[in-house]
């Protein structure tokens, strides 16, 4: 079964897409064909889109779905005329919220992703820090880190760090625990000084082997034995130093980041 979905916003459409997506995942037998319409901020654009939606409705057996966040009430009303199920997140909740807060909302468009200069700078700072300290480089800068991810090569450290920096402005470094470190059965000096900031990532053997094989087919690095030894030793190391850790095998980057922040008590900041 196929259904056409329109994400519509007078801003970037990211909020509409996020919520729409989270609702759509509850209907996994349906094949959703998705169309993005950001910056629908004039009645002219709304009329054009209305025609597109109605043309789609006429062509298909079932009415399309419209997930929208429209701050402008006139544009919202125009789109409500579409032959579609229109769910607008903004218009649904802004009324009860105005009542609870006892004041009218500002109705200004494009606020969701419009941070202050200071917030913007701290986000860019975090991204730069994370890039600079990626993969065990510049360990002298660990004083500045809010968290240092450790684990064997290809356990998901870099994407998680970048996500933390990008979404929450968190300075996240990462250090790959090498065979040499594992041989010594102790944490390298540069990490020992920052034990409280460490967070370990581990991963199922089969998955690690598959990822490494993809990268360097047939190498010792990708061999089952090598992967197994590294994983065993790194988990022993986590245990020895009482480092909180997570098996990332079945989790998305978002889930890893959320679980990490929860375990370490790092507050999510809004950017």
**Residue ranges in contact with a copy of itself by CB under 8 A:** 3, 11-15, 17-19, 21-23, 25-30, 34, 36, 38-39, 63, 65, 69, 71, 85, 87, 89-90, 92-94, 96-97, 100-101, 103, 105-108, 110-115, 120, 123-124, 127, 131, 134, 158-159, 162-163, 166, 252-255, 258-259, 262, 267-268, 270
Min dist CB 264 to a copy of itself, Å, is 13
Min dist CB 143 to a copy of itself, Å, is 20
Identify whether the C-beta of residue 46 lies closer than 8 Å to the C-beta of residue 40: yes
Closest by CA to 10, choosing from 110, 98, 93, is 110
Closest by CA to 139, choosing from 74, 224, 197, is 197
Q: Is 176 helix (H, G, I), strand (E, B) or coil?
A: strand
The partner residues of 9 in beta bridges, in order of sequence, read 69
Instruction: Report the 10 Å Cβ neighbour count for 237.
Output: 22
The span from the CA of 79 to the CA of 16, in Å, is: 15
The partner residues of 186 in beta bridges, in order of sequence, read none
The span from the CA of 269 to the CA of 115, in Å, is: 12
Q: Please, what is the angle between helix 224-240 and helix 205-215, to 10°?
A: 130
Q: Which two tokens stand for residue 127?
A: 């991204």
Q: 38-43: list long-range contacts, CB under 8 Å, 24+ apart.
A: 38/9, 38/11, 38/12, 38/13, 39/9, 39/10, 39/11, 39/12, 39/13, 40/8, 40/9, 40/10, 40/70, 40/75, 40/79, 41/10, 41/72, 41/75, 41/109, 42/75, 43/74, 43/75, 43/78
Identify whether the C-beta of residue 173 lies closer than 8 Å to the C-beta of residue 145: yes
């Amino acid at each position: 079964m196929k259904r056409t979905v329109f994400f519509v916003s007078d801003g970037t459409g990211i909020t509409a897409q996020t919520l729409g997506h989270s609702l759509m995942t509850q209907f996994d037998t349906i094949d959703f064909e998705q169309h993005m319409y950001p910056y629908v901020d004039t009645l002219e654009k709304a009329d054009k889109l209305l025609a597109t939606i109605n043309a789609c409705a006429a062509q298909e057996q079932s009415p399309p779905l419209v997930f929208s966040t429209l701050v402008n009430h006139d544009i919202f009303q125009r789109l409500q005329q579409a032959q579609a199920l229109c769910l607008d997140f903004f218009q649904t909740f802004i009324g009860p919220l105005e009542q609870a807060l006892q004041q009218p909302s500002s109705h200004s468009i494009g606020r969701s992703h419009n941070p202050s200069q200071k917030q913007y700078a701290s986000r860019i700072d975090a991204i730069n820090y994370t890039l600079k300290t990626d993969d065990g480089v510049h360990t002298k800068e660990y004083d500045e880190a809010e968290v240092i991810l450790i684990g064997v090569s290809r356990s998901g450290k870099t994407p998680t760090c970048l996500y933390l920096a990008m979404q929450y402005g968190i300075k996240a470094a990462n250090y790959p625990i090498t065979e040499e470190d594992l041989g010594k059965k102790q944490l390298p000096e540069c990490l020992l000084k920052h034990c409280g900031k460490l967070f370990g990532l581990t991963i199922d053997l089969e998955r690690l082997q598959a990822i490494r094989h993809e990268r360097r087919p047939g190498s010792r690095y990708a061999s089952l034995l090598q992967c197994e030894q590294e994983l065993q030793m790194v988990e022993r190391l986590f245990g020895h130093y009482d480092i909180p850790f997570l098996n990332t095998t079945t989790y998305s980057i978002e889930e890893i980041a959320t679980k990490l922040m929860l375990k370490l008590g790092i507050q999510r900041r809004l950017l």
